[in-house]
Amino acid sequence: MKVLMIAAEAVPFAKVGGLGDVLGALPAALRSLDVQVRVVIPKYQSIDKGRYNLLPLGDHPVRQVLLGRIPVPVQYYHTVLPDTDVPVYLVGNDAFFQRPGIYDDPISGHGYEDNGERFLFFSRAALALLEGLDWVPDIIHCHDSQTGMIPAYIRTGMGPAACTLSSTVYTIHNMGYLGLFPKSILYPAGLSEGFFYPGSPLEFYDHVCLMKAALSYADCLNTVSESYAIEIQSSAEFGAGLDGVLRTRRSDLFGIMNGIDYKTWNPADDPKIPYHYSMDDISGKYENKKELLLRCGWQTPKERIPILGMISRLTDQKGFDLVLARLEEILSLPLRLVILGSGNKAYEQVLQQAMLRHPDRISVHLRFDDALAHLIEAGSDMFLMPSKYEPCGLNQLYSMRYGTLPVVRATGGLRDSVIDDDHNPYRGTGFSFEAYSAEAMMEALHRSLRAFQDVSRWSYMMNRAMSCDFSWNHSAEKYKELYLYAISKRRPAY
């Protein structure tokens, strides 16, 4: 089976969110199942050609693709995913990708105004790449709105002739990013206005919607947890107004939980934490806790006080409106709060002010810091994720692996992965709450603090959490089944 994955991110080359983690790990897991996988991403300014040994592809790596009727140069590079034999192709164009951000302008904090043209170009160039390869995919696997037009191109005959029988799979990583653009984007997309009318596969409130195009044209759809697949069909809020479209595709819509890469996230050999540990010898976790206290400028207390960690974008989706609504109450509890992340500037300011008022209770780090993220996972006792919605979530999975018990809202992948110990005694791996409210969050936090005081109970919960298997192997097997189903839709005799 041959699979071409097309996405805007892939670790370690470029990452903004969980999408990059998936593209960095899933291809290797599929290779272990004898699936031939190749990956296509943009060649961003931040990707170091020397570090990743990027080489021009072929004798004529510079070609042209059409945006509308305008020929635009594209330069292709190739390399492999580190520590694998998975080929990676990078689509280069200085005008579109030689800039400091991936989606957003770092200066303004807003998305680039030409994002529509940028990712339409990327989609056209990714398909044009296939015309120069002696390799035809059975599956073209597209991810999120940036590649949403590709299934439309394949189904309407605008893709490469060799891909007429290629099936398309489209993964929804987050319905919150629809890829909405003015209908003027039809011209660079190479589409006539005949594709755009009220209720058409491209139209959404008089805008072109790349997500809707993929939901309408892809052979199969999936999202990154079983609960999220149900939620996005249940209401306009969860489905971002496309819940009706999703319900019409329910027989082709599946939920497959993301995995995590235990080569990167494993306390037994994590090079980014000072002390290693495992279920057999947990002592290193407490040494990491001392190190985290020191990094936050705190003395090691004589009494047993938990550290509550958060690593997140500071946005409402991640539940920071709930956290800030009860921040003073949280800081009055017998715990210490460590937050790593950035986002809403007003939220950043409130947290900085809180740190000035309570330097002995809260430590805030408004940046991306991968090493500190690993230390927070290893040194914290609890991890708070009060998300309004969460397609999958990864930090709760990292936390459990590190014996850091999550306190989460029961939504999407958080619901699927965290078992509340009060509701399921002797099975619990954390604590959860249903209602999206500050009161419900605080009730779950209080329950976790009571459990923390029971040393024996807490120790058993840590062992259960650390023994959970959220590796990519299980998820990869489900993706292979999905690919077979997608192929059978186009080629019933396959």
DSSP 8-state code for residue 160: -
- 382 in the Ramachandran plot: left (φ > 0), alpha (ψ -120 to 50) or beta? beta
**CA atoms of 385 and 406, how far apart (whole Å):** 7
Neighbours of 173 (CB within 10 A): 21
Transcribe 42-69 into DSSP letters.
E--TTS-TTTTT-EE-SS--EEEEEETT
pLDDT for residue 494:
60
| Tokens encoding 348 | 């950043």
pLDDT tens string, the chain, 494 residues long: the values are 999 999 999 999 999 888 999 999 999 999 999 999 999 999 999 999 999 999 999 877 789 999 999 999 999 999 999 999 999 999 999 999 999 999 999 888 789 999 999 999 999 999 999 988 999 999 999 999 999 999 999 999 999 988 988 999 999 999 999 999 999 999 999 998 889 999 999 999 999 999 999 999 999 999 999 999 999 999 999 999 999 999 999 999 999 999 998 888 999 999 999 999 999 999 999 999 999 999 999 999 989 999 999 999 899 999 999 999 999 999 999 999 999 998 899 999 999 999 999 999 999 999 889 899 999 999 999 999 999 999 999 999 999 999 999 999 999 999 999 999 999 998 999 999 999 999 999 999 999 999 999 999 999 999 999 999 999 999 999 999 999 999 999 887 66
| Domain residue ranges of the chain, discontinuous segments joined by + | 2-259+473-490, 283-469
Q: How far, in Å, CA of 426 to CA of 428, rounded?
A: 6
Separation of first and last alpha carbons in the chain: 11
How far is 415 from 225, CA to CA, in rounded Å? Answer: 9
Tokens for 38, please give them.
């190749």
DSSP-derived secondary structure for 388-401: S--SS-SHHHHHHH
Per the listing, tokens 């959404």 go with 204
Give yes or no for a contact between 224 and 256, defined as CB atoms under 8 angstroms apart.
Answer: yes
CB–CB of 111/146 below 8 Å?
A: no
Q: Give every CB contact of residue 468 below 8 A, 6+ residues apart in sequence.
A: 397, 400, 401, 417, 429
Instruction: Give the neighbor-by-neighbor strand order of the sheet with 307-311.
Output: 362-365, 336-340, 307-311, 382-385, 405-409, 431-433
**Whose CA is closest to 85, among 9, 30, 18, 12?**
30
Give me 371's structure tokens.
């090493």
Rounded CA-CA distance 163/156 in Å is: 12
Overall fold of domain 283-469: Rossmann fold (3.40.50)
Non-local CB neighbours of 452 within 8 Å, separated by 6+ positions = 304, 306, 381, 382, 458
**Do the domains spanning 2-259+473-490 and 283-469 agree at the CATH topology level?**
yes
Written as six digits, the tokens of 41 are 């991403």
Tokens of 47: 């990707």
Closest alpha carbon to 44 in 112, 95, 107: 95
pTM, two decimal places: 0.92
Domain range 2-259+473-490, CATH class: alpha beta
| Preceding peptide of 73 cis, ω within 30° | no
Judge whether 47 and 54 are in contact, CB under 8 Å. yes
Q: Are 207 and 182 in contact (CB under 8 A)?
A: yes
CA distance 155 to 123: 14
Q: Which tokens hold the place of 417?
A: 């992965």
Residue 292, helix vs strand vs coil = helix
Q: Which residues contact 424 (CB under 8 A, 6 or more apart)?
A: none
Q: Which residue from 307, 359, 300, 309 is spatially nearest to 333, judged by alpha carbons?
A: 307
Q: Is the peptide bond before 182 cis (omega within 30 degrees of 0)?
A: no
In the beta sheet, which residues pair with residue 328? Answer: none
Residues in the chain: 494
